Structure 1
Amino acid sequence: MNYHTRKWVKPEDLNPNQSLFGGRLLQWIDEEAALYAVIQLENKKVVTKFISEINFVSSAKQGDIIEIGIEVSGFGSTSLTLKCDVRNKMTHQTIITVDKIVMVNLDENGNPAPHGKTKVEFVKDRLSKQIPE
């Protein structure tokens, strides 16, 4: 699992129990999944189609630094399926797991569109292909 994003849990992120509000965490996960899909599919028009069962394993408190990990679990013809783990940066204790997030690639009219991708690509590899030797 590659952890791409870190968030600092602030007072405005807390629920009445003084722990990280689950809705805020899901917002961060959805945004991270969308950014990951945009980069992988090379298209700014992607939407969340499905988020599977969410397993809240432990909580985070104000001042904690959490990190969001995303990895690809599959490619569909118009979709990208991801897995997500969120953990405490300092202790590596798991906070939440999401087994399946499906992101759909859209065309200019907002309809599902084939993306032609079959494997994970890294931006650095794309950039090195663009530089003439």
Structure 2
Amino acid sequence: MRFHTRKWVKPEDLNPNSTLFGGRLLAWIDEEIALYAIIQLESPRIVTKHMSEINFRSSAKQGDIVEIGIDVIKFGNTSLTLMCEVRNMMTKETIITIDTITMVSVDLDGKPQAHGKTKIEYVEDRLKR
């Protein structure tokens, strides 16, 4: 699992229990996954098609730093399927896991569009082109 982004839990991110609001965390994940897919598929038109069961395992409180990890499961013809784990850097606990998230490349009409990618590309791969 590669951890890409860190977020600092601020007062506006909390629920009435004074812990990280799950909806805020899911928004962070969706944004991070979308950015990752846009970069990997080299297309600005990516949509979230599916998220599997979301397993909240622990939480975070104000001042904690969480990091979002992503792994590629597979490249489809129009899609990219990923998995995600978010962990609390202060407590070292996993906050959430999502087994599969499917992102789809779409055309201007919002219809699935082939992206032509078959493997992960890293910065050094793109510099060689």
TM-score, length of structure 1 as denominator length: 0.94
Work out the number of aligned pairs and report it: 129
Partner of 1:48: 48
What amino acid sits opposite 1:14 in the alignment?
Answer: L
Deviation readout 1:47-81 (Å, 9 max, x if unpaired): 00001100000010000000000110011110000
State the alpha-carbon separation in 1 of the partners of residues 91 and 12 from structure 2. 23
| RMSD (CA atoms) | 0.9
Partner of 1:29: 29
TM-score, length of structure 2 as denominator length: 0.96
Question: Which ranges of structure 1 fall in alignment gaps of 5 or more residues?
Answer: none
Deviation at 1:91, TM superposition (A): 3.5
SS at match of 1:81: strand
What amino acid sits opposite 2:38 in the alignment?
Answer: V
Q: Does the alignment pair 1:87 with 2:90? A: no
Runs of 4+ in 1 over 6 A off after TM superposition: none
Partner of 2:65: 65
SS at match of 2:98: strand
State the alpha-carbon separation in 1 of the partners of residues 74 and 92 from structure 2. 26
